[in-house]
Structure 1
């Protein structure tokens, strides 16, 4: 194996460009939520078609992340990131210009493909840029800030653009952002390692990608047709069969997609397992909260977006504080306390009322949730790449994003089904707004319970002899970073 590398004169500018790439990916995840009613009218979508405006992106993104991460390791992280940004920006433009539902949904799927290349490649470049230590901790704090802020900013920007300029501009704005980030990445990052030996695990990649696709397809379909439908059960059966095939392939392939050494390092397994549970609540939060604001409180798209600002501000503050907190009290205590904090915010949010207000019901919980979510995300990201060899950094980045996305798909499918069932039952004897609120309260209450259990699990899974040290990857080889400060 040989590697080629370059240098960059401005690590700060490079980090800003890479953080911009992550922000753009997260923005595209949530920016459509507020505009769905207008999109449905604009291109003539059915109920199921409207759902697929969201699902097409998430499905392609989640299913292809592992492939994107390994491609970044083998083909060069900067090259894969630039290609992903170009594809992402082009697909965003196509979505904004779409005049039919088929074109729009296809463009969203291609957006997801581009995002699956962007997210792991950008995270791997951050790991290259900042060696283990306080600098990497601060960089991951920035990463966490833009990740959480991207989700909240998507709701805000979606509301502003939809109300002021119309729904196509939510996609045009994402396209403009992607191309600006592409230019910044090309200007401020250097060439990255290219692995000249080893084969891409095509059968393993195909098996796991199709397995994840079948799983996410089944979960999203279950929200509409129920858990016992033939399509849903068939999708789950295919996912199980393909997962078994993937395990067999990995055992025999000389260069497996998920090499055992990846899980032998640090606390990678614990970090990914906990990230999946965090993701199951994270994505559902940004689905249900805007719905409550619009459908129950009667907020406009713009007001709904503005209502996300305190959560975004708390998220940015928590991400900034996370590295210092981890150094002071240790990784285990940090992630456990953060998860309990977010659980407390969601438990508070589960007390919302159909006749309440933003100030009484949402503002306080949003601040607690933002702080807990951001600190937990930063710490779990660090744990998920701890001790990973440099040549596997892209794959590690793909894996942690995959666990978050798949966890989110599972959580959203389950919580949406439960909330819908509670609402349907309550509607038989309560006014419509009270019935909707009952469903949302249930979703937030279950989310709080999941996070409390996750916090207890984190206290066990992340503990080790040197748990007081901050969680950041230790050097895995003697090679110098591909990008470094002069």
Structure 2
């Protein structure tokens, strides 16, 4: 008889569900030997690693790739990154639901296979034009959209709440800056010493290997959908196809409008039309999810104040980060005149800083309220943006530039594991995919949308960016936007922290009643 069977402290309406989930989860974690578990955690973490590598592999050689295609407009160049983040953020909810119905393991493996295929196409686009490259990058982003929610759901279903789960999730988060940096380093090496398409072909080879190893080491996690579909109608309802179409359509159109506005100008009529249609679709999406959908894509009953607080902070922090990382590279290469390889070398501090931050977060999560951890992460995002925005052009790298690179990863690696563990523990086992989807959707979509906001600010203040000083002024203005978003995250964290502290210290009416003897 297991400990769960003998402990009846959880008797209540949800006790049998919790007991079954806990027993199954513990069995999945303990059935693997030490070596297999190490490989298992490594492969699952590679989902986060390769997602961020897909971002970094375009950042470093951005001007080289743009030069080969004859593209020098910063607004168009931002689409090389924004298109990838757009689909990886927009479709996460859809593929998280697919994982809940089909299984996290098959969706995870297929995600790596898809990532591999469109990485090949991105490299082959060198023989065509930048339109095919952006198209390939956009479809490449569907790979991370499959990988991230299902990777997190696999971990959430395999490990029970506790210190080990906190550390595994922290390790998952720690791979983010390392993936971005290593992806950028290899991209710089291929671009300067070889040929930039090999960046994407190497990515394709790595993803194919990870898919194969994942097939061999990831266990068949017991998975029973809440309402198993049997007919085509059941599948349509379970996948919430109408809700997915409205939500994805709205998110895509709003994002396209914000990222296309700086390129063609906000006076262009179709930009406003696309933005309005996107807003209408999003309004219809929420109406559908609230009042019509039988199996809503987002279980709105799960969006408690805690969940909304986490998502709001994540949106502000990671939107700020998207601006910071894009304009950091432009600052190093266009303002300081660094080569892609030198810029990649200077961008290595987040590898070490991120690991320290992730494991520190894993340690703190069992000893500190999540509100404090989220506040510290938002402060790190804000300080990183401030240090870069005020860094003098001629100042040594070891001053504000280096400090910004050390501080910002603490925002990434404190906010991501804390939020994923919080939501993973807050929902039932068959909703692990949705919990993971909410976080990863907000992270990736905020990066893309933040770039659109910053690009709009830049083009409205840089007077065309025709000389060095105007270009620098535009970059700094975009970074002020990054500071503003992070500052909003800090304010949100402070408000929530005060609110929860008051709630914890104020005795309720029920607590004040005299208890019967």
Is TM-score (shorter-chain normalized) higher than 0.5?
yes
Judge conservation of contact 2:259–2:453 (CA < 8 Å) in 1: no
Q: Cα 1:117–1:373, aligned 2, differ >3 Å: closer, same or farther? A: closer
Q: Please give the secondary structure, in 2, of the residue aligned with 1:32.
A: helix
- Of 52, 56, 59, the residue aligned with 2:86 is 59
Q: Cα 1:78–1:467, aligned 2, differ >3 Å: closer, same or farther? A: farther
- Of 142, 147, 153, the residue aligned with 2:182 is 153
Distance in 2, Cα, partners of 1:211 & 1:24: 27
State the 1:153 CA deviation.
Answer: 2.8
Distance in 2, Cα, partners of 1:289 & 1:340: 18
> Which residue is 2:510 aligned to?
none
Question: TM-score, normalized by length of structure 1?
Answer: 0.88
Q: Please give the secondary structure, in 2, of the residue aligned with 1:66.
A: helix
Distance in 2, Cα, partners of 1:41 & 1:443: 23
Is 1:257 aligned to residue 284 of structure 2?
A: no
State the 1:446 CA deviation.
Answer: 3.4
Is 1:441 aligned to residue 467 of structure 2?
A: no
> Which residue is 1:349 aligned to?
388
Q: Cα 1:274–1:320, aligned 2, differ >3 Å: closer, same or farther? A: same
State the 1:224 CA deviation.
Answer: 1.1
- Of 104, 108, 114, the residue aligned with 1:81 is 108
> Which residue is 1:124 aligned to?
153
Is 1:141 aligned to residue 176 of structure 2?
A: no
Between 300-309 and 180-189, report the one with greater CA deviation: 180-189
> Which residue is 1:22 aligned to?
48
Is 1:369 aligned to residue 408 of structure 2?
A: yes
Between 222-231 and 330-339, report the one with greater CA deviation: 222-231
Q: Please give the secondary structure, in 2, of the residue aligned with 1:359.
A: coil
Distance in 1, Cα, partners of 2:337 & 2:184: 16
C-alpha RMSD over aligned residues: 2.6
Is 1:36 aligned to residue 84 of structure 2?
A: no
Distance in 1, Cα, partners of 2:178 & 2:415: 14
Between 245-254 and 201-210, report the one with greater CA deviation: 245-254
Q: Cα 1:111–1:63, aligned 2, differ >3 Å: closer, same or farther? A: same
Q: Please give the secondary structure, in 1, of the residue aligned with 2:144.
A: helix
Alignment of 1:146-295 (within 5 A): 146-192=175-221, 193-195=223-225, 196-197=228-229, 199-250=238-289, 251-264=291-304, 267-295=306-334
Distance in 2, Cα, partners of 1:157 & 1:467: 50
Question: Aligned pairs, how many?
Answer: 463
Is 1:417 aligned to residue 452 of structure 2?
A: no
Judge conservation of contact 1:8–1:189 (CA < 8 Å) in 2: no
State the 1:467 CA deviation.
Answer: 10
Distance in 2, Cα, partners of 1:105 & 1:412: 16
Distance in 2, Cα, partners of 1:316 & 1:358: 22
State the 1:383 CA deviation.
Answer: 3.3
Between 148-157 and 329-338, report the one with greater CA deviation: 148-157
State the 1:142 CA deviation.
Answer: 0.6
Between 154-163 and 281-290, report the one with greater CA deviation: 154-163
Query: Larger relative contact order (C-alpha < 8 A, sep ≥ 6)?
Result: 1
Is 1:452 aligned to residue 462 of structure 2?
A: no
Q: Please give the secondary structure, in 2, of the residue aligned with 1:328.
A: coil
State the 1:44 CA deviation.
Answer: 5.2
Distance in 2, Cα, partners of 1:96 & 1:69: 28
Judge conservation of contact 1:269–1:384 (CA < 8 Å) in 2: no
State the 1:8 CA deviation.
Answer: 3.8
Distance in 2, Cα, partners of 1:377 & 1:399: 12
Between 144-153 and 275-284, report the one with greater CA deviation: 144-153
> Which residue is 2:436 aligned to?
397
Is 1:308 aligned to residue 335 of structure 2?
A: no
Distance in 2, Cα, partners of 1:176 & 1:274: 36
Q: Cα 1:215–1:34, aligned 2, differ >3 Å: closer, same or farther? A: same
Q: Cα 1:74–1:220, aligned 2, differ >3 Å: closer, same or farther? A: same
Which of 1 and 2 has greater Rg? 2
Between 203-212 and 32-41, report the one with greater CA deviation: 32-41
> Which residue is 2:140 aligned to?
111
Question: TM-score, normalized by length of structure 2?
Answer: 0.83
Q: Cα 1:438–1:106, aligned 2, differ >3 Å: closer, same or farther? A: closer
Can you list the C-alpha shifts for 1:433-467, whole angstroms capped at 9, x where unaligned?
33333333333333233323312311333664799
Judge conservation of contact 2:309–2:492 (CA < 8 Å) in 1: no
State the 1:117 CA deviation.
Answer: 0.8
- Of 92, 109, 118, the residue aligned with 2:119 is 92
Distance in 2, Cα, partners of 1:44 & 1:300: 19
Judge conservation of contact 1:296–1:354 (CA < 8 Å) in 2: yes
State the 1:315 CA deviation.
Answer: 1.5
Distance in 1, Cα, partners of 2:114 & 2:425: 30
> Which residue is 2:5 aligned to?
none
State the 1:357 CA deviation.
Answer: 2.9
State the 1:320 CA deviation.
Answer: 1.4
State the 1:228 CA deviation.
Answer: 4.0
